[in-house]
Amino acid sequence: MNAIFQCTFKESLRKRAFLIMSIISVLYIVLWIVILQKFTSSMNLNMAGNIGEQVSAGTSSLVFQIGLQFSSMLLCLVTINLGSGIIASEIETGLILGIISRPIKRSSYVYGRFLGITVLVAIFGTAMYALILAVGAVFSLAPVLALNPAQILSGWIFYLLVPITVLCLTTFGSVQIKAVANGLLMVFVYMLGNIGGMVEMIGKFLNSSSAINAGILMSLFSPFHELYLTAERILVPSSGFAGDMMRGLGGLSGGGDPPSVWMYVYIAVYAVLFLLLAIRRFKKIDINI
């Protein structure tokens, strides 16, 4: 399994798609810096002063949420891009024949492929997370300056759990359908969670139980957004109508009340189950050697 892990990590690192997404991510960070510069100048602030003390907490939170959520979206797109063909591409090209002919368990092959991309995504995500916080600190955004080490650590964990959970489902899709179709399907499923968060938020404000239930149902099919919202609640604590509205407007998606512990249990089972189903399905695939 170690050999498969190392091979997958190096192969993913050399992929043109990963290089392109890395460039896009760097451009996004640059764009966010420009946005923060325009934001501060429009508020007639002195860059040499303490910007965080002059900008309202609500506006600072709004700007920080924009940077945070779009970075999470980019990270998930990178994950889907790398993971959609994690096994399907090997089967399509026939490269799998030279691998499974060796004395290696099929389960070890899936684990190795999964872990290789997981480590790469974790490194990439950690870099994105650190850059978002660093840029926010440079521009003295109040929510960033108020963070303590425990918040930074727990926010980082949930920030990375989003793409890792996405990868579990993507791995399952990779043993079921072709790479391109799997990628498109995973993007749809991922976006479904964001839509569900918005529907649930609207239902909460309109006091509509049907809209709230519809949003919760979408979140059960696509629970990734709940993990992101947990990271956001840790990094940008807020409550009440104004806080929820800022989440919806700042992140282009909303959310209802904080999930219970059972939702986290469900997400853990969801991720592990799809990974195990991927292994089970791969063991049953008839590959002629």
**Tens digit of each residue's pLDDT (9 = 90 or more) over 30-48:** 988 888 887 766 654 444 4
Q: What is the full DSSP assignment across the chain?
A: -HHHHHHHHHHHHH-HHHHHHHHHHHHHHHHHHHHHHHHHHHTT--TTS-HHHHS-HHHHHHHHHHHHHHHHHHHHHHHHHHHTTTTHHHHHHTTHHHHHTSS--HHHHHHHHHHHHHHHHHHHHHHHHHHHHHHHHHTT-HHHHT--HHHHHHHHHHHHHHHHHHHHHHHHHHTTS-HHHHHHHHHHHHHHHHHHHHHHHHHHHHT-HHHHHHHHHHHHH-THHHHHHHHHHHHS---HHHHHHHHHHHHS----SPPPHHHHHHHHHHHHHHHHHHHHHHHH-----
Q: Tell me the pTM.
A: 0.86
Can you give the residue ranges of every domain in the chain? 2-284
Confidence category of residue 206, pLDDT binned at 50, 70, 90: confident
Check residue 156 and give its pLDDT: 95
pLDDT beyond 90 at 254: no
**Tens digit of each residue's pLDDT (9 = 90 or more) over 87-145:** 888 887 777 777 777 777 888 889 999 999 999 999 999 999 999 999 988 887 778 88
